[in-house]
Chains A and B, each alone.
Chain A
Amino acid sequence: MSNDTLTPDAAPQKNDRTKMVASETEVAIEIVDMHKWFGDFHVLRDINLKVMKGERIVIAGPSGSGKSTLIRCINRLEEHQEGQIIVDGIELTGDLKAVDEVRREVGMVFQHFNLFPHLTILQNCTLAPIWVRGTPKAEAEKTAMHYLETVKIPEQANKFPGQLSGGQQQRVAIARSLCMNPKIMLFDEPTSALDPEMIKEVLDVMVKLAEDGMTMLVVSHEMGFARQVANRVIFMDQGQIVEQNEPEKFFHNPQHERTKLFLSQILH
């Protein structure tokens, strides 16, 4: 584990930032006038969002504000009813082929890890590359070991998920997604189910990923992480994006009343 501190007050490291420049021309995700309902409930209202390649966006907001639903729409774990979502140049519609194509390019990390408990760590990481991408087994295992080293648990490769701690499981989940060589990574509250001692080991991996230039959308309340790596922080309330800004401005000079209230609740 690296020795970088990740306390909420840690100043952003300038030299890291310069490595993490987002593209100015290539669009990774474009969401236009998007609405979604759960039955009668209007859960996402008029979402417009453009994410450039290499950008890192942290999405915050009170519970029930629709932030998880938003990123779940991006790989169509949820369907939207109106508007457009275009991921890596492919529009998400009812077309299952397009959905499969997008899912191959978009990795997702869940709050509750969702590792496959009947498979070993290595099998968790190689299953999709072998059966979705058609990668030969030996090559898939080599890639998997590489990413397990990236998340610093190659020695657990032959264990089952149930034998690992929460933090280790979440790092495996990240490695499992990376094995598909995704262009975009979605994180749905990746540290919310973890003990305080384990949050740092997961965040360290995510920081490393950001430094390597991955396009990332992170639903999280880890404000230290947001300050350190995010280009933009998006604040959602009642299914709408009510504020977005660079982290420094977002934290020190929030514009919207709801944002101020939220920040006063979580930053003591």
Chain B
Amino acid sequence: MVHYMNIFQLSYKNLLRRKLRTTFTILGITLSAWVLITLLGFNNGYENSLNKDIEGMGFQIVLTAKGCPYEAATLMLKGGTGLRYMPEEIVQGVANDPDVAQTTAMLMHAEFDPDKGENGGTIVYLGIDIPSYPELKPYLTFKQGAWFQNAAERKVVLGFEAAELEQREVGDSMLLPGSAEEYQVVGILKRTGTQDDGMIFLPLKTVQKVFNKEGQLTMLGIRLKQTADANAFEEKLYSLPDVQVVSMAQVKNTILGLVSSAKVIVLSIAFIAFVIAMFGVLNTVLMSVFERYQEIGILKSMGALPKDIFVMILIETTLLCTLGGILGISLAFVFSGASEMAIRFFLPFTPNGNLILITTPTVVWSFLTIALIGIIGGIYPAQRAAHIRPLDAIRSE
């Protein structure tokens, strides 16, 4: 059987001549591609997760006690410390506003538990109003049990992760800090992928009583009517004393603003990595052309046209970039979990859900970018090779 060979196979075999050099060039492209895909995935994932977290809040506007807006944002999304309080009387005034569809008052209390995890951790207790809280968060469904009633003072609902951490089932009892009384677990929520998973929910009045915050709230969640003008409503709330209004859009913009500068720096690094990879490709292919100077001349004496040689060299660079791109994309998928862990470690605030979201358009565009950069890097060596005169090559013996 006679072996059938085409120009692609010829280019491929040319790359095999210097296996180590080819490997290192592909490795350079792989790393650049990996960084690019991961960063683009992070770009998608972070915003997507943040949107989900914010949508998961169930209300568009939050009223909190006056303080740092970043603290307010963290409080809403993660359950922060150093909480500030506002008087409960404020609820009625807001709830009666014709633009308001529903409100839900909350009191959050964070307590450090030295037994949580390896180095201890914060347990967040959230006092909620029934039925307004479940109504605003209809996606909260139960793995076991159901919500308590407002009057049921010593009942607890656990978020999915909180239940795992506390190792409690429905019907079990648990103690609260500073209280000798036992509280019965009446429900365990299904996993939501939001901050609610880590919460311990109690009736609002109970939290106020147990933690000595009677008549006080940390937040008032507000859902507006569909016909309401959110901006005009926010303006009205600014007239209230000692409270601040935080809209979900503001929270989102605040957090995106915090991470955007970091993203610019990292994207710049990715760009530099790509430029270096492109010059790596250019260098490798140019060296290969110089090494094969005579051989290319002989190919031309055999009948290869300048465009044939140009195509042959360009295929070599495209093969390098394609292989590097595929490997880089694969690594980005395989190590997305590890990359996410690293990002969570370095960033001060990260939303729940997948931080690195690698979508098909991201993969396609990244792959095309890598291929394009490879082709650009290959044009100069290909042109040099195409213009080698056969006679010069033969004379160079």
The finding on whether chains A and B are genuine partners in a shared complex, rather than unrelated, reads no
A-side interface residues toward B, CB under 8 Å? none
B-side interface residues toward A, CB under 8 Å? none
